[in-house]
Amino acid sequence: MEARRVLVLGGARSGKSAYAQRLAEAGTAERVYLATGSAIDEEMAARIARHRLERCGGWFTREEPLELAAALRSEARPGRIVLVDCLTLWLSNCMLAGRQPADETGQLCAVLEELEGPVVLVSNELGSGLVPEGKLGRDFRDAHGRLNQNIGYVCDAVVLITAGLPSLLKPTPALSITLV
């Protein structure tokens, strides 16, 4: 199956980033890694360094914690694949910067629909966990669920990674119910 826009979902340490990277590396020689995380502390700096080492050669890395739509518009083109890792951190950055999640999601979806080059987006699947205790946590979980739904809608394919194994969610096989 060919897809130009792919959303890869999964829980923490599910293997979603590794799967998305393999998918991107199988696609084209020119690759851009669009990182949304920032080295805000030592642990995050070490995590970013580890991710860089895990990527083989041939990647150009661009860090963009907030202006994701603009970065995609400038980096995506035919013959070049862009891997965005990850939407969860990007949404967190947006909310902490006081931006409206619905507006940011709408802008991102609009850009994704007009891109000429292929893109793979990575996002956490948070909806199966516990209800967060605080309002900020609940607001984030709700905004994140809406983000994943909207991005999934504009993507050609959606893959859920569980225990390192992919399950294709979109396109879905046709299902019908037989009335007996």
Which of the residues 51, 73, 141, 146 is marked catalytic? 51
171 cis-preceded (ω within 30 degrees of 0): yes
Q: Which of 11, 9, 17, 47 is nearest to 33 (CA)?
A: 17
Residue 27 has what DSSP assignment? T
Residues 6 or more apart whose Cβ sits within 8 Å of residue 69: 104, 107, 108, 110, 111
Look up 51 and say whether it is catalytic: yes
**Paired sense of beta strands 80-85 and 30-35, if any:** parallel
Residues that are catalytic = 51
